[in-house]
Amino acid sequence: MPPVVPMLAPLLIASGDGFAGWQPLNDTIMGGRSQGQCWASSDGLVMEAQVEPEGGGFVSCRSPVFAPPLDLSAYGALQLELDGDGRRYKLAVACRDGVAGLTELIPGGLRWVAEFSTQATGTSVVTIPLNRLTPSVRATPVGLPVRFDAAGITRLQILHSKFGDIGGRNPGFRPGPLRLLVRSIRAVP
């Protein structure tokens, strides 16, 4: 009889009030006019905003820095349970710097990103394979040979931006009022 290999259980990163400490970061840091806020509730992370396309054209909520970094090397994907609004969003993942501090010298830092769509109503589950994340600096793809460090994840961020994950326009971008509820984020095998 073959040996039984135990199945790796999902790892809950945040849900409900566990999103405490997440903060907004909007295009106003670069002269834009979008206004957004986020807060933890018993239902999850609530993100509300008024998105303006002029200037940076983005709103976001980001986690505090994970100290120590999250080690997700045993997992294959991040799974988000959320109530969307039909827009296309972006998940950005920051990793500890494996290049002697050089990536933190880059304004905006190196992030690993992937776009995802939301349903206009109801709760949906979005799974983003870690191997689908692409390196980016301020919405511009990075062509340098860099390696994603699943054992050293330092921060997560959820954005609605006029730019997509490969540098072009986000076809799901819509200016105006926005409301997103992220019920949970898990790492899954």
Over the stretch 137-168, which tens digit does the pLDDT of each residue have? 766 667 666 788 999 999 999 998 877 666 67
- Collapsing DSSP states into helix, strand and coil, what is residue 95? strand
* Mean per-residue pLDDT of the chain: 86
pLDDT tens by residue, 23-46: 999 877 767 778 899 999 999 999
Q: How far is CA 72 from CA 10, 16, 82, 141, in A?
A: 11, 21, 21, 23
Around Cβ 70, how many Cβ atoms within 10 Å? 20
Token reading at 99: 């290049």
Q: What is the predicted pLDDT for the residue at 183?
A: 98
Nearest to 49 by CA among 131, 161, 168: 161
Percent of the residues in the chain that have a pLDDT greater than 90, as a whole number: 58
pLDDT at 65 over 80: yes
pLDDT tens by residue, 77-114: 999 999 999 999 999 999 986 554 555 555 557 889 99
Q: What is the predicted pLDDT for the residue at 96?
A: 85
- Collapsing DSSP states into helix, strand and coil, what is residue 139? coil
Q: Which residue has the higher pLDDT, 146 or 13?
A: 13
Token reading at 150: 């699943």
Mean pLDDT of 1-5: 69
Q: Return d(Cα 83, Cα 47) in angstroms, integer.
A: 11
Q: What is the predicted pLDDT for the residue at 54?
A: 78
Superfamily grouping for domain 11-188: Galactose-binding lectin (2.60.120.430)
CB of 16 within 8 A of CB of 44?
Answer: yes
Q: What is the predicted pLDDT for the residue at 156?
A: 97
